[in-house]
């Protein structure tokens, strides 16, 4: 089998593979949705991937409160800690080393987007 040459930009094929994996995880974990963070290591171009399951109703309420009280970044970090599928995610997306920080921040940004989408959906109803 021919080894794929990694580039600094995800190919459509890679995007489809990650979307398929998220759907597979949605079924495996029996949740409403699974969100995917994909970071690219600047030197090796390795894909640093993390999967976040959509939080349940009570967690959504708590996160919206936390976003209002403590700020959206802390709410994003809480969502990362609670809903990250660590067994499915790259260790750099949840590790405690300085090398992990850019990837953890990327996952938090995905979580912030998720919280914002959840809050906006409830505002519209």
Domain interval for residue 100: 54-125
Is position 36 within any domain?
no
Of 1-10, 55-64, 116-125, the one with minimum mean pLDDT is 116-125
pLDDT at 41 over 80: yes
In terms of Cα–Cα distance, which of 116, 119, 48, 117 is closest to 84?
A: 48
User: Helix %, strand %, coil % for the chain, to 5?
Assistant: 60, 10, 25
Res 49 pLDDT > 90: yes
Give pLDDT, residue 68.
Answer: 87
pLDDT for position 125: 59
Q: Distances in Å between the alpha carbon of 2 and those of 5, 11, 60, 72? A: 9, 16, 44, 44
Inside any domain, residue 5: no
Asked if pLDDT for residue 98 goes beyond 90, the answer is yes
Domain assignment of residue 68, yes or no: yes
Identify whether 108 is part of a domain.
yes
Percent of the chain with pLDDT over 90: 78
How many structural domains comprise the chain? 1
Whether 6 is in a domain gets the answer no
Residue 39: its pLDDT value, please?
A: 97
Quickly state the pLDDT bin for 2 (edges 50, 70, 90).
Answer: low
Residue 72 confidence (pLDDT)? 92
User: What is the mean predicted confidence (pLDDT) over 57-63?
Assistant: 91
**Residue 99 counted as domain residue:** yes
Judge whether 15 lies within some domain.
no
2: in domain: no
């Amino acid at each position: 089998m021919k080894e794929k040459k990694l580039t600094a930009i995800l190919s459509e094929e890679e995007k489809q593979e990650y979307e398929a994996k998220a759907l597979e995880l949605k079924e495996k974990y029996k949740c409403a949705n699974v969100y995917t963070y994909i970071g690219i290591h600047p030197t090796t171009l390795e894909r640093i991937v993390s999967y976040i399951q959509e939080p349940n109703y009570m967690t959504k309420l708590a996160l919206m409160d936390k976003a209002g009280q403590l700020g959206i970044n802390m709410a994003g970090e809480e969502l990362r800690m609670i809903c990250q599928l660590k067994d499915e995610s790259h260790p750099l997306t949840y590790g405690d080393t300085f090398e992990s920080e850019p990837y953890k921040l990327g996952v938090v940004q995905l979580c912030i987007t998720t919280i914002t989408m959840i809050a906006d959906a409830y505002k519209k109803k």
